[in-house]
Chain A
């Protein structure tokens, strides 16, 4: 096993990206991926708390939840699902291209991913403002207007609270992802990555897939059933 010195050298044994406490690029990459998976598991648990809250209130008030879901437009939700699935595909493509050294294609795919995310957020913005216009706010401010007064039943406020909190926190994660992807695009264009070292793209790709999967569960639970 090579013992590394304190300063990095650019040679075949010791590339610039290799951190001094690792013995090989492979060990570093493996460790980074494992760390990312563990972090994603914590994210999953964070969301699962909200899924539990949703399940509990749904079991207690099934009709109210059923009825209130009519106010969510499944077509917009479905479109968002497709958009996110597409973005997962493009980020995976981006990783594929950097693995074979095609920097340009990686940048293009990362940009498409960001655009998809932006479309997602725009649709969500549209949905939220639509709700607000009708007086449907989370929690204590839930006062549906005349045309929607029939939805003003006990526990409907809970449904919409769950909706806003879950999609809100999910949306926050999408925004963070957009920021990360933008930073990655800049770094790729700058030449920071190569087939030997593309760990940040791999890790961000994993994060993005999680964001996608969470939406894939959110959508049917909130919009469809």
Chain B
């Protein structure tokens, strides 16, 4: 734990001191990073931008921890039988990989980092509606995760991240910590979602109508609704599991008169909408990237915006598709399968509209755009395989095999993580005032793309061939595919470490970034880089154009396209600093 604090401190100091050296723009020398460099000013900040960066550090560490656990799983699976660890260790390693990746990494990821940083500025606000609750949310998240990790001190956590009863009730004391930790961490998600909903409703700048909201904001809005409505259900599920362990209340444990399938219903009622918490923000990032790097408004704006809301709503109706073989009735399975297809439709609308955005656009290939294109490739595979799993008869064979593992890694990693990386690269100059090395950016993206497909496409085949999941040992005929998958994981890890390396390096030695390196026209690009202190805008913006109206943005492109008047008051950035 000490190294965590130390790295965080030096990271903060590096960012702060390098930002002060920016001096390309004297007027921006007092910015949100350097106005106060003390630890206390960071730990007690109520500035949404600083909170976003704290989340970035913690979430990145969670990703590192979860990622190392994944590498260990894959090394163990190089050979059948024991490779580097015994079966009880393995079962805990894969369980913790899932728990950390889901609760500590991916659920907060884009909303807590990019949502916090970018969304208020994109709507022209000074901060979120409840800045102190925002800070509280961060600490609640950290405490929750610590409680979950403490469980390891008391025994074996080897239930998988799904904690199915009655097995999860047989592992003893650790389940008390895990349930408490998830309950607490869930509150962070609820508070963030609540904060964002109120912010988007109440704090938009004058002229920022719902139809002019950037699609990233629409995505964050839909995500926040899901966070607020779904997370309490995992909360009560954890409470009931806790009480069953402590008071033997007999709700899920058949030995006490309970029903284990009831647990599955409760669990998936949250956990399915949770996957939309994971992917909707990624869709939002995608819209921003496609627009900026095609220099064209996203095609079908209204459809894309409303499809986010449709997905959020439909996501609550399909939880039973995780339970087709659970023993639930055929009628339930049929209904859940039918509605599952419906979710594919708004998702398909988005993909078609993103590709259509490039049509007759001005496509600029930079690292963020490479991630966006990778997303289209990888998420499409994930999405189609999701539909396949929704086909009733087919799911019977594929359920609980590596096919499912491959599917969700394609959507969560090939989708959310790729989009998050794209977003972090896109907004990196705005957040840090620095540019990263573009060549390394492209190389890393390539490594990640190749490594990811090597790791996970093989797992589709393993699954359809019958290899079950959560297996320590396996039949010899699956060995070659497992080895291919493991080697892929090394390539993937190399790419990810390269990203971390050059991003951290850019803080110290990177070129100072101009205010608007991508020539984007959403509000966050209209002020200096990094963002000034004390307010996001030198004067309150009045919005008169849509979020992707490049042709109405003379202050960015140096000319007045068709006579439209510049709206956002030009910042202290002189035009010469715009490259």
Q: Are A20 and B126 in contact (CB under 8 A)?
A: yes
Q: Are A161 and B251 in contact (CB under 8 A)?
A: yes
> Which of A19, A41, A46, A158 touches B250 (beta carbons < 8 Å)?
A158
Query: What residue of chain B has the Cβ atom nearest to residue A57's Cβ?
Result: B251
A189 beta carbon closer than 8 Å to chain B: no
Cα distance A45–B254 in the bound complex, in angstroms:
25
Beta-carbon contacts under 8 Å, B526-560 to A: 534-535, 539-540
Beta-carbon contacts under 8 Å, B129-170 to A: 129-131, 133
Cα distance A164–B251 in the bound complex, in angstroms:
13
> Which of A21, A34, A140, A169 touches B127 (beta carbons < 8 Å)?
A21
Q: Which of B125, B197, B202 has the most CB of A within 10 A?
A: B202
Q: Are A49 and B247 in contact (CB under 8 A)?
A: no
Q: Are A3 and B250 in contact (CB under 8 A)?
A: no
Given A21-B127, A31-B203, A157-B250, residue A45 in contact with residue B539 (CB < 8 A): no
A6 beta carbon closer than 8 Å to chain B: yes
- Classify the interface of chain A: helix, strand, loop or mixed: helix
Interface string of B195-207 (1 = CB under 8 A from A): 1011101110010
Given A1-B540, A39-B194, A41-B228, residue A50 in contact with residue B206 (CB < 8 A): no
Which residues of B are found within 8 Å of A145, using beta-carbon distances? none
A-B pairs under 8 A by CB, number: 118
Which residues of B are found within 8 Å of A158, using beta-carbon distances? 249-251, 257-258
B256 beta carbon closer than 8 Å to chain A: yes
Cα distance A123–B128 in the bound complex, in angstroms:
43
Which residues of A are found within 8 Å of B236, using beta-carbon distances? 45-47, 49-50
> Which of A3, A48, A164 touches B540 (beta carbons < 8 Å)?
A3
Cα distance A122–B16 in the bound complex, in angstroms:
56
B229 beta carbon closer than 8 Å to chain A: yes
Given A30-B202, A31-B203, residue A140 in contact with residue B256 (CB < 8 A): yes
Query: What residue of chain B has the Cβ atom nearest to residue A1's Cβ?
Result: B540
A129 beta carbon closer than 8 Å to chain B: no
B244 beta carbon closer than 8 Å to chain A: yes
Cα distance A144–B190 in the bound complex, in angstroms:
40
Given A53-B240, A138-B249, A139-B250, residue A35 in contact with residue B232 (CB < 8 A): no
Query: What residue of chain B has the Cβ atom nearest to residue A140's Cβ?
Result: B248
Which residues of A are found within 8 Å of B126, using beta-carbon distances? 20-21
Interface string of A1-16 (1 = CB under 8 A from B): 1010010000000000
Interface string of B246-265 (1 = CB under 8 A from A): 01111100001111001000
Which residues of B are found within 8 Å of A139, using beta-carbon distances? 243-244, 247-250, 256
A191 beta carbon closer than 8 Å to chain B: no
B315 beta carbon closer than 8 Å to chain A: no
B235 beta carbon closer than 8 Å to chain A: yes
B116 beta carbon closer than 8 Å to chain A: no
Cα distance A121–B280 in the bound complex, in angstroms:
44
Given A52-B266, A165-B240, 7 more pairs with CB closer than 8 A: A34-B202, A38-B197, A43-B232, A46-B236, A139-B250, A157-B257, A161-B249
- List of 3 A-B pairs having minimum Cβ-Cβ separation, nearest first: A140-B248, A49-B236, A161-B249
Q: Which residues of B contact A (CB under 8 A)?
A: 125-131, 133, 190, 193-195, 197-199, 201-203, 206, 228-229, 231-233, 235-237, 239-240, 243-244, 247-251, 256-259, 262, 266, 534-535, 539-540
